[in-house]
Structure 1
Amino acid sequence: MAPKFGTSGLRGLVTELTDALVTDYTRAFLSACPQGRAVHVGWDLRPSSPAIAETVIAAIRDAGLTAIREGALPTPALALASMGAGNAAIMVTGSHIPADRNGLKFYVPHGEIAKEDEAAILDRLGQDHPVTEKCGSEIPGADTAAHYIARYVDAFGSEALEGLRIGVYQQSSVARDILVTAIEAMGATAVPLARSDEFIPVDTEAIAPETRETLQGWCTEQRLDAVISTDGDADRPMLTDETGTLIPGDVLGALTARLLGAKILCTPVSANTMVDAMPEFDSIHRTKIGSPFVIAAMGAALAADPAAKVVGYEPNGGFLLGFTATGPVGQIAPLATRDCLLPIVAPLVAAKKAGTAFSGLVAQLPARFTAADRVAEVSTDRSRAFIDRLAADPVARTEFFSDFDPAERIDQTDGLRLTFPSGEIVHLRPSGNAPECRCYAEAATPERAESLVASYLAALRTELT
């Protein structure tokens, strides 16, 4: 996987993320984008991250700037600290991809980099970046993790999760200790589970069947009301109900938006369409897949109405808050970057408030179910070429989707999304940040959605591998 850069950051094999390359991208970012008064630096728990972070900090200091060493902490905690201080930030993480790969995420003082920032950074790569005569300083972060936890405790209260027994699948998530501290501070009993010294790539949109079985076993054996976890850098949540059944991220997003009183939803085209049938929401804006597109849609909504109660979320569960929301005991300030903790806490609080088990709350939603998985180790170009052929050639499309009558709707907002006369949906898309081809499906039952994904993943493997 040759290093690849976009608005989601830089990703590549660790062996190819050389000191020279990391320095070049860091200096290009510093040259192209505003920094405020300093640059915050954090990292995840994969083995290569601390060394890459040292290279990033050295590059910041060589540019004559102040580096704030935040250490290992969640991406949303880093963003909360840097945006609150009006500073830039760099997170060393490969997110959910395997440990042999890593990357950088860049934040300007007001949030994630946008497409124009991406272009400016690319334009400054490969230049002879000078080393300043006076080396910049380095200072430690100041209680960043504690401030991140307090954001939710102050809004939901110390009794918000009282009486709940919650498993924390710790694995190698950088938020594994923060999750325990946070839910205990809100009154829950935390049960830490399966802490790992080795990095485990957790993709919240593609949890392996054996992991699902483990989650169900924990709930039964430990008498749990839920199990929570995140991906590697903790900008995507994972949450089960009391039976160990995983609740998809776009369901968590809808439940969180409803509890917070949001009226405008910005979400990718791949997200569950159940929100179209939920009367609590005034409008839904569908975007291309990726937080930069969700953020852009949120920005447009706020430009039209600065008082708009707008939120964004993705099927991976990352939640973005665009307005000052009111929790049970306090306010929650906007945070327009993917967060894991809000869409974990809010749905659990909503179920407790409704006096029902979490599965009961989910069962009350419109009956639309999604599933997703991917074919790994297939080049983006190969995936895109095949999907483009299906989009352009009705004969090829009919042959590939032979189980269905011709699609009633073809959506090419991002990949190829087909809505069939049955109301079922199949969506194919090349991944934007990994050598994968993703498949999404939506149907009236979870079993049918899973069956559609399994069937078309098998067909994709035949075509692409």
Structure 2
Amino acid sequence: MAAKFGTSGLRGLVGELTDGTAAAHARAFARHLIETGQAARGAQIYLGRDRRASSPEIARQCAAALVAEGLKPVECGVLPTPALALHAMGRGAAALMITGSHIPDDRNGVKFYRPDGEIDKHDEAAIAGLAPGLVSDAPTPAAILRDDSAAALAGFVARYRGFVPEGLFAGLRIGLYEHSSAASAALAAILGEAGAEVIGLGPSSVFIPVDTEAVSEETRRLAGDWVAELSLDGLVSADGDGDRPMVVDETGRVIRGDALGLIVARHLDADAVVTPITSNSGIEAGCTADAIRTRVGSPYVISGMTEALQKGRQRVIGFEANGGVLTANPVAVGSARLAALPTRDSVLPILCAFAAARAAGETLSAHVAELALPVAASDRIEHFPTATGQALVADLSGDEDRRLRFFEPLGRPVNADLTDGLRVTLDSGAIVHLRPSGNAPELRIYSEAPSEELALDLIARTAARVCEVAPDYPG
């Protein structure tokens, strides 16, 4: 049972899930729901998936496991994770989403939703504790209660009807990089209903792992070329399960996810924003809302949102550096009345970005420039063993002398934040953050500097330094 919980759900290689491990965790989740009184035997549970080659088989095994524990799975097909969560929560039911999000196709995962939203770390511990005792051969197929695929997708599209004032998006040309995202159909429908001209681009029959937090050079080039060739006002996309947005401005530049989160906070007049330590350090100065910083992962953001509500805040949003936005309260904008959705959503930040820029009479690039955020960048060292990354970060965090030696070619560390990984402020004022990924064998590197060139250079030099001192790194 090598698959394990990361920053958002169970993750592992396909073979580590199809060997009965995903089914065991589904059984454990069902048993946990029943034992805690969140579901009764015979209750419905909603099941969705992304477009990975392995997702139908994992969904089949999980459906059979749920039936074995006395629950009745309802098929929701391929749809965005937030659409599944919305559909299930609206019916007071739990849900399972089969997805590996943005990681490569040789991996996959399962996201778990209680009737009131995402599971938390306590739920994860309970499920992880029960699952080993439930491992067995792959279960036999199970009967599906019914197919709610069309209704779940239609409900998500209807959620945003009226959010954009009539005529605001008139004449707006938006490219949609479809690739293999489960959100492509929903985005096309929502943006089209809002009045934009949507140009579909790049659909793929094979899974493409688009990471909206560390956008690849190939994806940047594709997007930039499309924007220029088609005279687009912007381009949008989402990751595999549609809970993380990608927005490209009219110049072909990718807008960082934390900038999108800040735009949402301002557009919705939030009085509290909750975001991980990896988000831009300028968030606090960029809005009037109280800012709460957390570790990386939606469970931590949701916990912070709950704390904000307990303190009396009434317009609470959360967002991550990948751009996914969560809402803790109902949101009323235009004629739309959005129920609270405490899970990452790619649609809300996309709509807010274009709506805020249009309302201000600005292009996307000009609107983002007005945020005056420090220049930030992020990237990753792929195929970097998780244990190696954890050991390196632990050593640098606990040994000041070693930390000084490691960063000497880059600058002198004057502050170290250990909230999640190691975030160091150098004597130049630049920031470098090292964090082993919780989802895949990768080491994430974040930076802030006076210019994009310097921020990217700082990442490249840090990555080179990591590879010098990490003896177990095969690269």
Whichever residue aligns with residue 298 of structure 1, its letter is: M
Q: Match for 1:63 among 61, 69, 87?
A: 69
Unaligned 5+ runs, structure 1 = none
C-alpha separation in 1, matches of 2:109 and 2:438: 14
Give me the whole-angstrom Cα distance separating, in 2, the residues matched to 1:129 and 1:64.
Answer: 17
From 187, 191, 194, give the equivalent of 2:199. Answer: 191
- The 2-side partners of 1:88 and 1:54 are apart by 17
1:62 Cα deviation after fit: 2.2
Aligned twin of 1:258: 266
Please state if 1:24 is matched with 2:24.
Answer: yes
1: distance between equivalents of 2:439 and 2:15? 17
Partner Cα separation in structure 2 for residue 54 and residue 160 of structure 1: 44
Hey, what's the Cα distance between the residues in 1 that align with 2:32 and 2:371? 45
Q: Tell me, in whole angstroms, the C-alpha distance in 1 between the residues paired with 2:169 and 2:392.
A: 48
CA contact (8 A) 1:61 1:138 kept: no
* Amino acid in structure 2 at the alignment position of 1:8: S
Whole-Å separation in 1 of the counterparts to 2:24 and 2:459: 40
Q: When the two structures are superposed, what TM-score results if normalisation uses the length of structure 2? A: 0.93
Quote the offset at 1:405 in angstroms: 4.2
Give a deviation string over 1:390-435, Cα, whole Å, max 9, x none. Answer: 1222222122212444322210000100112322110001111111
Distance 2:88 2:154 in 1: 14
Match of 2:229 in 1: 221
- Tell me, what secondary structure is at the counterpart of 1:154? coil
- The reply to whether residue 38 of structure 1 matches residue 44 of structure 2 is yes
Contact 1:265 1:281 in 2 (8 A): no
Match of 2:302 in 1: 295
Judging changes above 3 Å, is the alpha-carbon distance between structure 1 residues 129 and 364 closer, same or farther for their aligned structure 2 residues? closer
Residue among 347, 360, 369 paired with 2:375: 369
Where structure 2 has 5 or more consecutive residues not aligned to the other structure, the ranges are: 137-141
Tell me the CA shift for residue 6 of structure 1. 4.6
Q: Distance in 2 between matches of 1:35 and 1:254?
A: 37
- 2:161 is the counterpart of 1:143: no
Counterpart-to-counterpart distance in 2, 1:137 and 1:188: 38
Determine if contact 1:215/1:244 at 8 Å carries over to the other structure: yes
Residue 401 of structure 2 corresponds to residue 395 of structure 1: yes
AA partner of residue 90 (structure 2): G
Q: CA deviation at 1:203?
A: 0.7
Q: 2-side partners of 1:83 and 1:179: how far apart?
A: 21
Sort the Cα spacing of 1:456 and 1:11 in 2 relative to 1 into closer, same or farther, 3 A: same
Q: Which amino acid aligns with 2:296?
A: I
| Structure 1 position 35, deviation (Å) | 3.5
Matches within 5 A, 1:344-423: 344-423=350-429
Match of 2:178 among 141, 165, 170: 170
Code of the residue aligned with 2:429 in structure 1: it is G
In 2, the alpha carbon distance for the partners of 1:303 and 1:136 equals 42
Q: Select which of 296, 317, 323 maps to 2:323.
A: 317
Is the contact between residue 178 and residue 203 of structure 2 (CA under 8 Å) also seen in structure 1? yes
Q: Deviations over 1:289-332 (max 9, x none)?
A: 11100000000111221x52111000011100112222133332
Tell me, yes or no, if the aligned pair for 1:291 and 1:337 is still in contact at 8 Å.
Answer: yes
Question: CA distance change for structure 1 residues 431 and 128 in 2, over 3 Å: closer, same or farther?
Answer: closer
Residue 462 (structure 2) pairs with residue 456 (structure 1): yes
Judged with a 3 Å threshold, the aligned counterparts in structure 2 of structure 1 residues 268 and 426 are, in CA distance, closer, same or farther, namely same
Shift >3 Å, 4+ stretches: 126-130, 157-160
Tell me the CA shift for residue 256 of structure 1.
0.8
Q: Distance in 2 between matches of 1:319 and 1:411?
A: 24
Q: Verify the 8 A CA contact 1:367 1:445 in the aligned structure 2.
A: no
Give the aligned residue type for 1:319.
V
Q: Which amino acid aligns with 1:254?
A: L
Does the CA-based 8 Å contact 1:256-1:347 persist in structure 2?
A: yes
Equivalent residue, structure 1, for 2:10: 10
For the residue of structure 2 that corresponds to 1:153, the secondary structure is coil
Give the direction of change, closer, same or farther, for the CA distance of 1:433–1:7 in structure 2 (3 Å limit): closer
Structure 2 match to 1:89: 95
C-alpha distance in structure 1 between counterparts of 2:467 and 2:7, whole Å: 28
Q: Secondary structure, in 3 states, of the residue corresponding to 2:131? A: coil
CA distance in 1, matches of 2:9, 2:320: 17
User: 1: distance between equivalents of 2:331 and 2:292?
Assistant: 20
CA-CA distance at 1:333 after TM superposition: 2.1
The question of 1:283 aligning with 2:290 is answered yes
Contact 1:203 1:231 in 2 (8 A): yes
Of 189, 198, 211, the residue aligned with 1:203 is 211
Specify the alignment match of 2:311 in structure 1.
Answer: 304
SS in 2 for 1:124: helix
AA aligned to 1:4 is K
Counterpart code for 2:243: D
Cα offset, 1:126, TM superposition: 3.2
Deviation track 1:267-290 (CA, whole Å, cap 9, x = no partner) reads 001100112222x42311110011
Partner of 1:375, secondary structure, is: strand
SS of the residue corresponding to residue 17 of structure 1 reads helix
Tell me: CA distance 1:136–1:170, structure 2 relative to 1, closer, same or farther (3 Å): closer
Asked if structure 2 preserves the Cα contact closer than 8 Å seen for 1:411 and 1:417, the reply is yes
Are residue 153 (structure 1) and residue 164 (structure 2) matched? Answer: no
Task: Give the equivalent residue in structure 1 for 2:251.
Answer: 243
How far is 1:129 from its partner? 8.9
* Rounded Cα–Cα distance in structure 2 between residues aligned with 1:85 and 1:129: 30
Q: Is the 8 A contact 1:324 1:333 kept in 2?
A: yes
For the residue of structure 1 that corresponds to 2:176, the secondary structure is strand
Secondary structure in 2 matching 1:343: helix
The structural deviation recorded for 1:447 is: 2.1
Equivalent residue for 2:276, pick from 263, 268, 278 = 268
Q: Paired residues, what number?
A: 459
Q: 3-state SS of the aligned residue for 1:312?
A: strand
* Cα distance, 1:19 vs structure 2: 4.8
Distance 1:372 1:177, change over 3 A: same
1:260/1:128 Cα in 2 relative to 1: closer, same or farther (>3 Å)?
closer
Q: Say if 2:81 is the partner of 1:75.
A: yes
Give the Cα separation in 2 of the matches to 1:447 and 1:463.
25
Change (3 A) 1:423 1:329: farther
Amino acid at match of 1:5: F
For 2:297, the aligned partner's letter is: G
Q: In structure 2, how many angstroms separate the alpha carbons of the residues matched to 1:237 and 1:253?
A: 10
Cα RMSD of the aligned pairs, angstroms, is: 1.8
User: For structure 1, which segment, 238-247 or 330-339, has the greater mean C-alpha deviation from structure 2 after superposition?
Assistant: 330-339
